[in-house]
Amino acid sequence: MRIDIITVMPELLESPFQHSILKRANEKGLLQVHLHQLRDFGLGKHRQVDDYQYGGGAGLVMMIEPMAACIKSLQAQRNYDEVIFMTPDGATLSQTISNELSLYENLLIICGHYKGIDERIRDKYVTREISIGDFVLSGGELAAAVLVDSIGRLIPGVLNDGSSALTDSFQDDLLAPPVYTRPSEFDGMKVPDILLSGNDGKIEAWRYEQSIARTKTRRPDLLDRE
């Protein structure tokens, strides 16, 4: 998969993709993330990318010309399955959305800043709008990093143990069960005996029960979903 990201702050996105799982995904040739500085398409000698909003009001709005030029130059090189705008008024990111996006070949992500982006960019180029939650960030970059991380780990072959992504919380609308590692006892706190029993069937049943119990107490809304 290839993910292109348009941003005025590429520095914010450089580090997240250079570590751990996403770094490995890149080394394995499974995920390439390319950052594009919107300012390279800015207007005039100041490379302007934002301007005052029509109708008045505080806050600058990202202009359509630089964004359109940047998007068009990328679309001339490949077809994008989705052009995604990160915005607090988009659909809330879920495991279902990440699963769906992880099957695509080419994604283009647009990070907004300031007061927002000219609505015509959304009307003309954007095919999907995603929020990472009901709170406002200063820009779309951190939200884009969250989205890419959640998609990247689902691409087949990225995780060493392919089954591991399937047992994540939310993958089947249940929260994941508790996990333990050595030592088997710490300060009098013991790992549940069943996990040391070697009985795979019983362990699986215990984990399932724990998942249900945890979901009932922490996120009962998940159990009511279709």
Q: Is residue 7 near ligand ADE by the rule CB under 6 A?
A: no
Segment interacting with ligand ADE (CB under 6 A) among 26-34, 84-92, 99-107, 158-166:
84-92
Q: Is residue 86 near ligand ADE by the rule CB under 6 A?
A: yes
Q: How far is the C-alpha of 5 from the C-alpha of 20, rounded, in Å?
A: 20
Q: Is residue 143 near ligand ADE by the rule CB under 6 A?
A: yes
Q: What is the DSSP letter of 19?
A: S
Segment interacting with ligand ADE (CB under 6 A) among 40-48, 137-145, 153-161, 216-224:
137-145
Q: Is residue 98 near ligand ADE by the rule CB under 6 A?
A: no
State the residue for tokens 């691409």.
155
What's the distance, Cα to Cα, between the start and end of the chain in Å?
Answer: 30
Q: Judged by CB, which is closer to ligand ADE: 25, or 145?
A: 145
Q: How far is the C-alpha of 204 from the C-alpha of 81, rounded, in Å?
A: 38
Q: Judged by CB, which is closer to ligand ADE: 25, or 111?
A: 111
Q: How far is the C-alpha of 81 from the C-alpha of 53, rounded, in Å?
A: 31
Q: Is residue 135 near ligand ADE by the rule CB under 6 A?
A: yes
Taking CB under 6 A as the criterion, the residue among 56, 136, 185, 220 binding ligand ADE is 136
Q: How far is the C-alpha of 188 from the C-alpha of 199, rounded, in Å?
A: 24
Which tokens in the block code for residue 139? 């820009």
Q: How far is the C-alpha of 106 from the C-alpha of 81, rounded, in Å?
A: 6
Q: Judged by CB, which is closer to ligand ADE: 106, or 131?
A: 131
Contact set with ligand ADE (CB under 6 A): 86-88, 112, 131-133, 135-137, 140, 143
